[in-house]
């Protein structure tokens, strides 16, 4: 059925992977010209090759799908490390690569995650960028989604902001995946259930979103850093989704056009958009060009069937 759990799960994972690939060309650039971004998004001439964001998202989706929707931290950390050691060229950040190398070499994940960034733990957006599958497990309450997102995050990101990024992304996906299509999405019905489950710093950034929904997109890149931190990247991704809840092409252009961590912000916005719109909204030219599209669909199908 076009609006089934399966369609929502496929839409989420497929759109995230496509947007990651589309955005990856611009990662780290600022002041992007809208024409260059539009050109890249509109002409999917070459293959859409995704990066670390999708690699880790698929690991998490497959972990949840094979494990009845539950997080097994030891196995999850090992699976992230395996994905890195098999394909270290996927575009991992330096902190993430160092931690995954330590885990591959036998350091327990708790120790590797706790000792990152001189003991502060990572507040990067890496736990958020992979978190969408947590929100796609059927039949979970929002509190259960938040707990599972936390469990999925702490194998690499123990800083509270890194965890809140994952909680926010998983909850956004969970909320819109069960919102009936056709009824107008109310921003605060997405934002408040999330902000009430995050720390104060994250909640303040999330509650700034409604003021940014009608003006120019530059107001978003003025308000948020749009960098590789959770606090700087997750709120602008949610803002872009709420501005274009059913238009993946406009969403991808705007998310990438913010500059900075373009692949990650676009992938997170797109994961939420796909959970709301379903597979039917994914441009066929994108899926036709997408690397390992069959694997992405299979991971989504398995997730949607978790009892």
Angle between helical axes of 230-243 and 200-207 (0-180°, round to 10): 30
CB 276 within 8 A of CB 246: yes
Lay out the site mask for ligand 8NA across 100-119 (x = CB under 6 A, - = otherwise): -----------------x--
Helix (H, G, I), strand (E, B) or coil at 133: helix
Helix (H, G, I), strand (E, B) or coil at 48: strand
Task: Please tell me the distance from the alpha carbon of residue 3 to that of residue 280, in angstroms, as a whole number.
Answer: 9
Task: Please tell me the distance from the alpha carbon of residue 268 to that of residue 57, in angstroms, as a whole number.
Answer: 10
Under the binding rule (CB under 6 A), the answer on residue 199 touching ligand 8NA is no
Instruction: Report the candidate in 60, 37, 32 with the shortest Cα–Cα distance to residue 127.
Output: 60
**Chosen residue from 36, 181, 207, 244 binding Mg ion by CB under 5 A:** 244
User: Could you say which of ligand 8NA, Mg ion, none residue 247 binds, taking C-beta under 5 to 8 angstroms by partner kind?
Assistant: Mg ion
First to last CA, the chain: 18
Shortest gap between Cβ of 56 and ligand 8NA (angstroms)?
8
Shortest gap between Cβ of 249 and Mg ion (angstroms)?
9
**Per this entry, what is the length of the chain?**
307
221-260 binders of ligand 8NA (CB under 6 A) = 228-229
Shortest gap between Cβ of 210 and ligand 8NA (angstroms)?
26
Under the binding rule (CB under 6 A), the answer on residue 274 touching ligand 8NA is no
**Biggest CA-to-CA distance, the chain:** 50
User: Could you say which of Mg ion, ligand 8NA, none residue 93 binds, taking C-beta under 5 to 8 angstroms by partner kind?
Assistant: ligand 8NA
Under the binding rule (CB under 6 A), the answer on residue 262 touching ligand 8NA is no
116-145 binders of ligand 8NA (CB under 6 A) = 117, 120, 122-126, 129
**Chosen residue from 73, 88, 93, 138 binding ligand 8NA by CB under 6 A:** 93
CB 260 within 8 A of CB 222: no
User: Could you say which of ligand 8NA, Mg ion, none residue 244 binds, taking C-beta under 5 to 8 angstroms by partner kind?
Assistant: Mg ion
90-129 binders of Mg ion (CB under 5 A) = 91
Alpha carbon 117 to its chain centroid, in Å, reads 22
Spatial CB neighbours of 142, under 8 Å, sequence gap ≥ 6: 171, 174, 175, 193, 197
Q: Residue 82 or 144: which CB sits closer to ligand 8NA?
A: 82
Instruction: Report the candidate in 27, 31, 21 with the shortest Cα–Cα distance to residue 57.
Output: 21
User: Could you say which of ligand 8NA, Mg ion, none residue 54 binds, taking C-beta under 5 to 8 angstroms by partner kind?
Assistant: none
Q: Residue 126 or 278: which CB sits closer to ligand 8NA?
A: 126
Would you tell me which residues interact with ligand 8NA (CB under 6 A)? 27, 51-53, 91-96, 117, 120, 122-126, 129, 159, 228-229, 261, 263-264
């Amino acid at each position: 059925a076009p609006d089934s759990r399966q369609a929502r799960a496929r839409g989420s994972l497929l759109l995230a992977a496509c947007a990651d690939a589309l955005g990856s060309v611009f990662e780290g650039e600022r002041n992007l010209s809208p024409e260059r971004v539009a050109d890249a998004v509109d002409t999917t001439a070459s293959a859409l090759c995704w990066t670390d964001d999708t690699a880790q998202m698929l690991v998490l989706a497959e972990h949840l799908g094979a494990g009845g929707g539950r997080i097994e931290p030891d196995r999850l950390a090992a699976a992230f490390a395996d994905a890195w050691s098999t394909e270290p060229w996927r575009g991992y950040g330096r902190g993430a690569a160092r931690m995954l190398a330590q885990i591959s070499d036998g350091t327990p994940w708790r120790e590797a995650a706790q000792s990152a960034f001189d003991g502060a733990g990572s507040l990067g957006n890496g736990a958020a960028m992979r978190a969408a599958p947590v929100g796609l497990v059927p039949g979970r309450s929002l509190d259960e989604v938040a707990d599972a997102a936390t469990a999925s995050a702490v194998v690499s990101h123990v800083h509270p902001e890194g965890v809140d990024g994952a909680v926010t992304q998983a909850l956004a996906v969970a909320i819109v995946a069960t919102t009936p299509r056709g009824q107008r999405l109310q921003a605060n019905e997405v934002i408040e259930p999330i902000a009430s489950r995050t720390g104060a710093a994250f909640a303040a950034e999330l509650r700034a979103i409604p003021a940014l929904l009608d003006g120019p997109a530059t107001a978003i890149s003025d308000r948020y850093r749009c960098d590789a931190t959770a606090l700087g990247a997750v709120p602008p991704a949610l803002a872009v989704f709420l501005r274009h809840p059913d238009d993946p092409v406009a969403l991808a252009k705007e998310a990438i056009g913010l500059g900075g961590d373009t692949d990650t912000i676009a992938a997170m916005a797109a994961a939420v958009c796909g959970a709301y719109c379903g597979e039917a909204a994914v441009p066929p030219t994108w899926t036709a060009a997408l690397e390992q599209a069959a694997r992405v669909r299979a991971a989504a199908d398995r997730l949607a069937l978790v009892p």
